[in-house]
Chains A and B, each alone.
Chain A
């Protein structure tokens, strides 16, 4: 029994309009002002702003409504209930494992709270290459500031846990500047279970902030309901079709045979996230005259390095991400060889045992060292070079999406440099052993040995462990129709009454954890949309 008041249960008692799953069947027809597909970072911000502006909003979410009472800090529950494909969504060649949320609040319910504004060099690149002239830091600043205030984003002032402090200490030894991460938390208990849903409601995810505000203002939420497609006629969206999904993501048999709910609205906002939003448009046969839809999907491909120290590290405990370094994003221009941001990931039993390479007694030796194990990750900044063009979303025969993301030599060269950087930092911090996560690596006990070995590793997909927790692009924005799926104001270039308000609108990867980029940019898009729909101003704070 939890001691924490559950804001979702409280809201349901107040009479929130929630349907789907255990909350009852959804009607055959629904009509509203704005239908929002997805309740994550973009959907949540949009829902709050539109509801505050007096618009009748329906939010359609394919995941379940889970809340603090359900968050038991157990991976065995969190991965199947809160993540896309049980946290095992993979790229087409299986080389990259993707973590994406699938629940009310989307990825914000399961992310690690790291908050960064869109970096200046990313915005400059967008302005120059994608003709997004309004995307400069000064003009976006007030929208970022509103999101930061609304979601209580502040530098983490508590001491970093050892897993993060080792990054700080190792970097300092090498003269590399590391800094403190800002987090969207209020009254955080420093547990470290953010990735399994925050059990204390300290994490200011969409689940406990914008969605409740929208629901209190009369919005409706359909849960465990997937939008199958938009209906399109005469260059406009005329409706959307949705139906129930089973807990494992399979469409209900009724939906499969054509019984589905039709929702009609004045305007539609697609906020399913990268991969999912392009998938809806592909299933809809949406106009795509320049064949851009689903392309330029980015992942910040991640490679990892596991260290073992003499002292306890207990990487499961404490705020998961509190220290970072952008040093390796600035050692070359943004269009040069691929740069990477270094952070430390939290480690819990299932994720640790899955990531640690090898079998049998060798693997057991590594597993036994779990309490003294340290991990670093490198987010590779894809999308800024011709040889990092990202991947392409396709549909399988059953309509589900798959991302084809080939790992090019250019990206894998960056992966090698990142493994070298992380090993050097771990040894500088005092590691007695460092193991780059690569099937042909063995634990190295000295930096010189690791350096030689990493230079000799075949940096191939599958041999190199690559994961992603940041999926971006696929419905990219541009100032010219031939370059973008969406316009700079988020409206689809060919469908006037459809906006895309999620990370799929980014023309490149962000080069930083993306949640605040989505909140801030969608804040502006949604405020402008409100103005066009009913002329009423609205604000997050």
Chain B
């Protein structure tokens, strides 16, 4: 697996070869590290659309992560490889900080801090950060709203039964 340009940039800025101990995907499925990144991204991107109640929100995020897995399983190998590298980079402390501007563990970061980090990526002058943002945003939106249970949030009644 070749190191992506983003990962190489992070390694260089972190001052040498960082140890990527955790891949983002394994066999086309999110690893624990990958799930950690997407759980944090999900609760930030979907803030306002997720259930407010704590337990209901956790269940919604669990379902969301399962759908992210299903979405990833359907991606071609080259896209899975790129996503795996992106998630590995973000899961690492230097990557999380340099790319997303997040200095705490993903699980501990406040939604406000995560939102600020994602906004920075979104309008960054660095194409690599914009690409990373777009991947996280689009996968999150597609995976979450592919489930009929989320459609009331959109006011979408579902397809006409024929």
Contacts and interface: CB of A to CB of B under 8 A. Distances in A.
Interface string B60-85: 00000001001101111111100000
A361 B162 contact: no
Q: Which of B48, B75, B76, B119 has the most CB of A within 10 A?
A: B76
B159 A74 contact: yes
Interface in A229-254: 247-250
Interface string A93-110: 110010000000000000
B142 A354 contact: yes
Contacts of B150: 349
Interface residues of B, number: 46
Interface string A344-372: 00001110111010011101110110110
B122 A368 contact: no
B141 A462 contact: no
Given A248-B74, A248-B75, A360 B44 contact: yes
A497 B98 CA distance: 55
Interface residues of A, number: 52
B89 to A, nearest CB: 16
A514 to B, nearest CB: 24
Contacts of A200: 162
A193 interface: yes
B73, B119, B156 interface centre (most CB from chain A within 10 Å)? B156
Interface centre among A79, A93, A94, A352 (most CB of B within 10 A): A94
B143 to A, nearest CB: 9
A199 interface: yes
Given A86-B75, A368-B155, A350 B123 contact: no
A270 B142 CA distance: 33
The prevalent SS among residues of A at the interface is loop
Nearest to A359: B45
Contacts of A3: 162
Interface of A: 2-4, 72-76, 79-80, 85-86, 88, 93-94, 97, 189, 191, 193, 199-200, 247-250, 316-317, 348-350, 352-354, 356, 359-361, 363-365, 367-368, 370-371, 396, 398, 400, 402, 439-440, 462-463
12 contacts: A200-B162, A248-B76, A250-B77, A353-B145, A354-B141, A360-B48, A361-B48, A363-B45, A367-B153, A368-B155, A398-B77, A400-B76
Given A350-B146, A353-B141, 4 more contacts: A349-B156, A363-B49, A364-B47, A462-B134
